[in-house]
Amino acid sequence: MKSKVIFKGILSSLLFSSVTAFAQDENITLLLHKDTTAAIRRVVQHPYKFRVQVVYTQVRKDSAGKLAFVASDFRINDDEYFYPATLVKLPIAALALEKINSLHTNGLSKDSYLKVLAPYISKKEKPVTIRENIIRMLVLNDKNAFNRLYEFLGQEYINSRLEQLGYKKTRIIQRFNIGSEEENRTTGPYVVTDSLGKTLYKGGKVTCRKKFTNPTKETKIGTGYIDGKKFVRVAKDFHNSNNFPLSEAHRMLISVIYPGETALENRFNISAEDFEFLKTALGYYPKEAGILEWMNDEKIYDTQEKFLFAGASKDSLPHGLRIYNKAGFDFGFIADCAYIQDKEKDVEFFVSAVLYTNSKDILSEEGYEYKENGYPFLKELGKLIYYHEIRIKDITVK
């Protein structure tokens, strides 16, 4: 007998077209509590200290090939703030592709060149294609690439469109390392050209009319922070910082990997080819991405930024395994949202997680325990679910 798929907690807002269901195997809470690895045990035994959140979505198919998604979570809470860092680059990439399509301008595409004319950009900076900006920020977290696309989109468009798509608590209201709260409300000007320098589209200087702020109830973190060279002995307030709840980041990744299983009103308005481009970029090893300077850089390795399953290891992934993900870390928080697929073993699933690795509770430029707690936990979490999925597959086959 087929049983009902249950989307727990906040993930109940997921709107998929599939109605066929499977019984849920062991949920993520049970898996975490049964695991005996030190990296997972020390986090799970102190969940409030580590502010850990995890969501795991199984992908199942019935005999007719119809898909079902079975979700479970551990401590998912949209009101427990974490700084999303570079996780916010996925929505910016998708929205940039949307805007290109919405402009309906002859010759304008993701292969057009974007030149930002804002005062903080050097006049000597060469234009870069929108495609390359997206690849740079999705694969190796290029912050300049994000800032350029932030200028292209504008703060009002970004946040109004995300809210329209159903991401009610996501706010992207900051560039990286540039500008005050008020300065981040103003974007542009910029110009988009073809490869010969012919102007295809111009965007002027625009100031967001609405004041967007972080909607999380409690946005203060830590017991002190460093401001320049000065130590401030109060919690740092992220009220005017980016916000991307883990549940919404997880849901967005699923919508990019499986757009056809996402309700139309929650789906980015881009082509099938654009969805495939996003997926491919999320799965690239850096030296597959076609960025010349990455090719011969010995510091760059295949599993860089693939924290779920790889951690900080430079070891190769199992043959047949590919991880499509977006990770981010800053202020002691480390997060990763991943779709993990092994075509050889016919295994696929989504897992997203965040934890706080800052026992001193002082927000500075150093002293975080990514190496001691962050990377090991995410590495073991990815492996825990991967091998669990293989066991399920083996039982099903037998």
The DSSP-derived string for 264-307 is GGGS-S--HHHHHHHHHHHH--GGGS--HHHHT-TT--TTTT-H
Residue 2 lies in a domain: no
Based on the fold, state whether residues 156 and 185 are members of the same structural domain.
yes
Strand partners, 114: 128, 192
Report if pTM > 0.85. yes
User: What mean pLDDT is predicted for residues 215-241?
Assistant: 95
The tens digit of pLDDT for each residue in 45-82 reads 999 999 999 999 999 988 788 899 999 999 999 999 99
Q: Which residues contact 315 (CB under 8 A, 6 or more apart)?
A: 303
* pLDDT number for residue 396: 63
- Domain membership of residue 149 (yes or no) is yes
**Residue 3 maps to a domain:** no
Strand order in the sheet with 128-129: 128-129, 113-116, 190-193, 199-203
Are the beta carbons of 242 and 83 closer than 8 angstroms?
yes
Indicate if 125 and 231 belong to the same structural domain: yes
Query: Do 108 and 229 belong together in one domain?
Result: yes
Among 237, 260, 293, identify where a domain stops.
237
Q: Does a structural domain hold residue 186? A: yes
Higher confidence at residue 396 or residue 209? 209
- Give the residue from 256, 237, 223 showing the smallest Cα distance to 97: 256
Q: Are residues 271 and 388 in the same domain?
A: yes
- Co-location of 343 and 260 in the same domain: yes
Specify the pLDDT at position 334: 98
Number of domains in the chain: 2
Q: Is the domain of 282 the same as that of 161?
A: no
Give the per-residue pLDDT at 125. Answer: 82
One domain, residues 252 and 351: yes
Q: What is the DSSP pairing of strand 224-227 with strand 220-221?
A: unpaired
Mean pLDDT of the chain: 91
Average pLDDT over residues 220-238: 95
User: Would 374 be classed as within a structural domain?
Assistant: yes
Residues 244-271, mean pLDDT to the nearest whole number = 97
Measured between alpha carbons, how far is 92 from 95 in angstroms, rounded to an integer? 5
Please identify, among 237, 268, 294, the residue that sits at the C-terminal boundary of a domain. 237
Q: Are residues 74 and 96 in the same domain?
A: no
Residue pLDDT, tens place only, 288-301: 999 999 998 999 99
Of the listed ranges 11-15, 48-52, 80-84, 266-270, the one predicted with least confidence: 11-15
Which structural domain range is residue 90 located in? 85-237
Domain assignment present for residue 4? The answer is no
Residue type, 304: Q
Closest by CA to 110, choosing from 125, 126, 99, is 99
| Residue 139's pLDDT band (cuts 50, 70, 90) | very high
Is residue 1 in some structural domain?
Answer: no
| Last residue of one domain, picked from the residues 185, 208, 237 | 237
Task: Verify that 117 and 61 share a domain, yes or no.
Answer: no
Supply the pLDDT for residue 25: 56
Looking at the structure, do residues 97 and 224 belong to the same domain, yes or no? yes
Say yes or no: 115 and 201 in one domain: yes
Residue 12 in this model has a pLDDT that exceeds 60: no
Percent over 70 (pLDDT), the chain: 92
Whether residues 256 and 212 fall in one domain: no
Domain assignment present for 353: yes
Question: Residue 128's pLDDT band (boundaries 50, 70, 90)?
Answer: very high
